[in-house]
A = this chain, B = another copy of it.
Amino acid sequence: MSAPASKSPATLHDVAREAGVSLATASRSLNGSARKVNESYRLRVVEAAQRLGYTTNLFAQAVAKGSTTTVALLVADIADPYFSSIAAGVIDAASEENLVVTIAVTGRNSQRELDTVRALRGQRPRVMILAGSRTTGSPFEEHLRAELSSFEDTGGKVAFISQDAAPFATVLLDNRGGARDLAVALAGLGYRDVAVIAGPAEIRTAQERLAGFTAGLAEHGVQLPAERIIHADFTRDGGYRGTQELLATGATVDLIFAVNDVMAVGVVSALRDAGLVPGQDIGVAGYDDIPTVRDITPALTTVRIPLEDVGRRALRLATGTARDGAATGGPAGPGAIPTETIIRESTPPR
């Protein structure tokens, strides 16, 4: 059943010899082709391959065909549930199309992101998916665009998962709208003294969620004073520290909105460590609906994004297998991924 203990893998050549046919025939019967091969030959080849433990060398195949079966996925941090959920979706959809996913992490560092894209181009991936927020004001942003454009010029496809990243295909996340809806819902529940633990100022996702949230509050006549906006890291610890900072100002608030769930988790812990009861003393809301937030106490109010689905869509968008009109480069609107406000125990009515 298994292979010979030779020093290097069997090649197609070996298989052809073993089967007593030509290289061409072996290739045709093993790796599909427009042309037909006599069934008896095909069988002999397949058996020979089996016997030798042959597997097509994908690299060589890629070189010969001039196209690969690789998808490159860039994420900020694979251990972050937001990204790992997206990755799960991408991988799932990719395996359906027999594509192999390569993951690289950029650690929210534009410089490194750019380097990574450059390095990944060497793989000549069919598709490159960039998950994670764009930033404003980074000098690298422009270089990145140039690099990606040139990647597309040479036959690659690029897909973003974020806000509008024209001219590239994008799975649009309606951060503004989602945050606005959440704010409206919370204001409706009676919250009035609100603080926001926002992400780093230059991260667009953070900006948009903040803006949308502010707008939603305004619709209910609720103000969000600038000193109630704390910028912090996009991580659990960022949320934790941001909350400490907020509490230190002595502000009296009845609600803290963290612009993403991992931060919100930090908020909850910080409140508790400060002797407060999250949900009861101060409401907490997050954004993303990562799996864990329904299991923490109190279960977290948040905005759901179908993360795995987003990953799947990104892949399909890029490979052109998209089933439906998932957004591409246009402004947030009809094509954006629908979000859903989920009210849980962390924000009881006031």
Contacts and interface: CB of A to CB of B under 8 A. Distances in A.
A103 B91 contact: yes
Interface residues of A, number: 66
Interface stretch (A145-153, A179-187, A211-219, A247-255): A145-153
Interface in A82-97: 84-85, 87-88, 91-92, 95
Contacts of A143: 1
Interface in A1-55: 1-9, 53, 55
Contact of A58 (B81, B122, B147): B122
Interface in A172-224: none
B55 A63 contact: no
What is the total number of copies of this protein in its complex? 2
A57 B292 CA distance: 41
A188 to B, nearest CB: 27
Contacts of A295: 236, 265-266, 268-269, 292, 296
A55 B3 contact: no
A150 B58 contact: no
Contact of A68 (B59, B120, B146, B150): B59
Interface in A56-79: 56-60, 62-63, 66, 68, 70, 77-79
Given A8-B154, A79-B81, 20 more contacts: A6-B154, A7-B154, A7-B155, A8-B66, A8-B155, A58-B122, A58-B124, A59-B60, A59-B62, A70-B102, A77-B88, A78-B88, A79-B85, A79-B308, A91-B103, A95-B105, A100-B102, A236-B291, A292-B296, A296-B297
21 contacts: A1-B146, A2-B147, A4-B153, A7-B155, A9-B155, A56-B122, A58-B123, A59-B68, A78-B78, A78-B84, A78-B88, A79-B87, A79-B308, A91-B103, A91-B104, A100-B119, A100-B120, A102-B103, A266-B295, A268-B295, A296-B297
